[in-house]
């Protein structure tokens, strides 16, 4: 594994506190607050500690309640709502300093056969035709504001290769459709489906909300907009192997009332639809600052 991926896998290992409670830690991702995908992945990992090995997560539905502090530990409390013959349901609440910052309901199921169909994967060039976001940032680091430069140019646990990159400093108005190749930056155990699903969950929050901003020519680092993830859902359809390339196909059907809705599909490079995601995010336009009153100069 790369050092960046190794560090993430280590952070996903939670400290048991007893009574289905676990402690997780994070790091600075350059966003000021705790990265939502990190909390999502750790919450899923916490839920996995309470179900049998014969069950895999098939869906999760979550809400981001308060901004988290990446410098402080997070306590995850798992509630075992039900264990049936084929399905197990869990609720996970994340707390910092005694306050809830995140909640998630998730369901696990045993593997069973059934009917299958899927939406075909969109056409996309091969991953190696495109440069990674880190390579692009390093080429143009002199243009990146100093406060973002180190985070933007350092190695990442997930490698992202955008087919048509967005320039965050000068975003242009475009149709709300994005295609990105992504994979783990290194090798992990493909048989560890808990870890593989956690890595996909971690990757699923990367720039997802920016899809809804594309028709408006803004980006989440634009000074005139306030951005935050509100909710996030994932459905897992087939086994995940983040060691290999996946096409992250994102669209946004609507933005209204200061919020943008985003849909996404994760396709393995062979065309199999592995997972589907939705996210609604805050896209609040900041009011223009009021002009300072003019002062009369004395004669």
CA–CA distances in Å: residue 118 to residues 115, 145, 155, 203, 218: 11, 42, 34, 22, 33
The two structure tokens encoding residue 113: 């056969």
Q: Would you call 205 a catalytic residue per the annotation?
A: yes
Of the candidates 26, 62, 210, 279, the residue annotated as catalytic is 279
Whole-angstrom distance, CA of residue 161 vs CA of residue 128 = 8
Q: Would you call 229 a catalytic residue per the annotation?
A: yes
Name, in order, each residue with C-beta under 8 angstroms of 145's C-beta and a sequence gap of 6 or more.
none
Cβ count within 10 A of residue 164 = 10
- Considering Cα of 185, then 190, then 195, then 196, what sign does the dihedral take? positive
CB 251 within 8 A of CB 193: no
CA–CA distances in Å: residue 215 to residues 95, 166, 171: 36, 12, 10
Of the candidates 26, 42, 196, 205, the residue annotated as catalytic is 205
- Tell me the DSSP string of 154-166: S--SEEEEESS--
Q: Would you call 162 a catalytic residue per the annotation?
A: no
Of the candidates 229, 233, 252, 276, the residue annotated as catalytic is 229
Catalytically active residues, by annotation? 205, 229, 279
């Amino acid at each position: 594994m790369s050092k960046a991926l190794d560090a993430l896998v280590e952070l996903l290992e939670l400290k048991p506190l007893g009574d289905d409670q676990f402690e997780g830690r994070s790091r600075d991702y350059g966003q000021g607050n705790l990265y939502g995908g990190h909390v999502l992945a750790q919450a899923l990992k916490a839920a996995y500690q309470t179900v049998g090995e014969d069950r895999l997560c098939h869906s999760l539905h979550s809400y981001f309640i308060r901004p988290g502090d990446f410098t402080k530990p997070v306590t995850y409390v798992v509630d075992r709502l039900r264990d049936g013959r084929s399905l197990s349901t869990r609720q996970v609440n994340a707390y910092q300093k005694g306050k809830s910052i995140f909640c998630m309901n998730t369901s696990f199921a045993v593997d069973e056969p059934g009917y299958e169909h899927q939406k075909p994967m969109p056409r996309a060039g091969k991953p190696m035709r495109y440069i990674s976001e880190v390579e692009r940032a390093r080429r143009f680091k002199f243009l990146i504001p100093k406060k973002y430069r180190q985070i933007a140019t350092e190695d990442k646990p997930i490698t992202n290769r955008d087919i048509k990159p967005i320039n965050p400093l000068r975003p242009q108005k475009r149709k709300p459709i994005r295609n990105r190749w992504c994979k783990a930056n290194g090798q992990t155990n493909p048989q560890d489906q808990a870890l593989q699903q956690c890595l996909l969950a971690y990757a699923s929050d990367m720039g997802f909300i920016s899809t809804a901003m594309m028709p408006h020519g803004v980006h989440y680092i634009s000074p005139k907009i306030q951005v935050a993830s509100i909710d996030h859902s994932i459905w897992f359809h087939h086994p995940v192997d983040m060691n290999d390339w996946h096409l992250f196909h994102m669209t946004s059907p609507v933005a209204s009332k200061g919020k943008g809705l985003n849909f996404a599909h994760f396709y393995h490079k062979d065309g199999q639809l592995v997972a589907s995601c939705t996210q609604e995010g805050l896209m609040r336009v900041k009011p223009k600052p009021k002009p300072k009153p003019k002062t009369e100069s004395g004669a």
